[in-house]
């Protein structure tokens, strides 16, 4: 008898899970609340640890048709005058160390790659899961339209506000999220309207008091992705689809280097979301239930590892289920054991970067800037970029 596997959520984490399950010879049904599979207009970093897994799925060439290979992974600049504080080359050196380049991509392009890897019949759309209940070693999913489904395994890839996570924790409370005081603006600028400096294959990061600003090209160079972090004021909306005001974004960075003003002048609209700080969950699994991606470890974007860690989760989860299909709860526990320490470390480190990036001008800021001279992120991030998540997947002992 084959396992009935339900994946709740058709975003990057959910489709990556379905793709790796298929790669492992297991079928899954993906339930997505939206009426179509699409991603909002935003970019992301796809680091070597994720790129290697796309290659294993046989989909790297599709991804590379639109992804932008980074020549410079980090180029930190001072807010007032754009003075370069630190620059780290990636490119061939990244490939030499970790076997792959580092890329920037539109989220939709990565989603298309994973959608193709997951194969037919594709997700069930308009299927908003509203509750999950355990009945021994099986689970029942309830949907907004009143329908139900039963599964031997339920994987929650349903984001920071996960229904499956609530079922996993049951009455055990997760640490409540803490408001960071910071919000993020995001927008896409067409390349034909963007200033020349923003078109380079570089992740530009500008640091200033209480703010920082990131830009890089995506979609085969057709757009420049902008993500800007600023004090949130009374903004508390935590949603990728919430609209902000472009005037507010420009005002936050008034007085910065004029080059940034020219980039923002070319932007016509922006999204805005509040950053809530969440710590590691007490656990990820409960019998046939498990969470993955942002449902398991939502993290700030400052290490560029949110999507990569979700893809790593998918590879390990599929491997564990394939190694022990006769005992799904044991396989899911093995998945949690392998993944939770690593993602917790990435999660906590990404959250700690907020303070360093937003130092006010003064002694601490000058010490931070001086310390860049001794930096080598490509080497000291080896524990992130060089990690092979599929090593160690074995059938758990009884």
- Around Cβ 211, how many Cβ atoms within 10 Å? 18
**How far is residue 252's CA from residue 238's CA, in Å, rounded to a whole number?**
19
216 belongs to the catalytic site = yes
**How far is residue 342's CA from residue 305's CA, in Å, rounded to a whole number?**
12
**How far is residue 27's CA from residue 18's CA, in Å, rounded to a whole number?**
8
Q: How far is CA 283 from CA 63, 165, 344, in A?
A: 33, 9, 11
Which residues are paired to 139 by β-bridges? 134, 151
- 103, 216, 335, 385: which one is catalytic? 216
| Cis, peptide link before residue 121, omega less than 30° from 0 | yes
CA nearest to 297, candidates 335, 337, 349, 346: 346
Question: What DSSP assignment string belongs to 163-197?
Answer: HHHHHHHTTSPPPPPEEEEEEEEEEEEETTTS-GG
Give ∠ CA 388-326-2 in degrees, rounded to 5. 95
Show which residues are catalytic: 216
């Amino acid at each position: 008898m084959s396992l009935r596997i339900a994946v709740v959520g058709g975003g990057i984490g959910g489709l990556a899970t379905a793709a790796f399950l298929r790669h492992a010879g297991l079928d899954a049904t993906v339930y997505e609340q939206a009426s179509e599979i699409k991603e909002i207009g935003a970019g992301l970093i796809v680091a070597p640890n994720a790129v290697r897994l796309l290659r294993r799925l046989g989909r790297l060439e599709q991804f590379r048709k639109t992804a932008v290979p980074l020549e410079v992974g980090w180029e930190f600049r001072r807010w007032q005058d754009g003075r370069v504080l630190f620059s780290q080359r990636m490119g061939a050196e990244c490939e030499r160390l970790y076997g792959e380049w580092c890329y920037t991509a539109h989220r939709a392009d990565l989603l298309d790659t994973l959608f193709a890897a997951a194969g037919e019949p594709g997700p069930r759309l308009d299927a908003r899961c509203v509750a999950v209940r355990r009945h021994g070693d099986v689970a029942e999913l309830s949907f907004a339209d009143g329908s139900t489904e039963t599964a031997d395994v339920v994987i929650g890839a349903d984001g920071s506000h996960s229904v499956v996570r609530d079922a996993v924790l049951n009455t055990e409370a997760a640490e409540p999220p803490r408001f960071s005081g910071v919000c993020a603006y995001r927008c896409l600028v067409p390349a034909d309207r963007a200033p020349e400096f923003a078109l380079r294959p570089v992740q530009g990061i500008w640091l200033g008091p209480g703010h920082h600003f990131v830009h890089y090209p995506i979609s085969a160079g057709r757009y420049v992705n902008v993500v800007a972090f600023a004090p949130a004021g009374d903004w508390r909306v935590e949603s990728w689809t919430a609209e902000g005001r472009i005037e507010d974004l420009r005002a936050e960075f008034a007085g910065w280097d004029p080059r940034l003003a020219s980039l923002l002048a070319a932007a016509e609209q922006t999204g805005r979301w509040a950053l809530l700080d969440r710590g590691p969950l007490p656990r990820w699994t409960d019998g046939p239930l498990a969470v993955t991606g942002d449902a398991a470890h939502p993290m700030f974007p400052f290490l560029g590892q949110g999507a990569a860690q979700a893809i790593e989760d998918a590879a390990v989860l599929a491997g564990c289920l394939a190694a022990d299909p006769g005992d799904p709860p044991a396989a899911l526990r093995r998945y949690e054991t392998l993944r939770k320490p690593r993602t917790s470390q990435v999660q906590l480190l990404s959250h700690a970067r907020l303070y360093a990036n937003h130092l006010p001008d003064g002694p601490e800021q000058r010490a931070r800037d001086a310390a860049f001279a001794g930096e080598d992120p490509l080497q000291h991030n080896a524990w992130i970029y060089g990690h092979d998540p599929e090593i160690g997947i074995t059938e758990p002992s009884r």
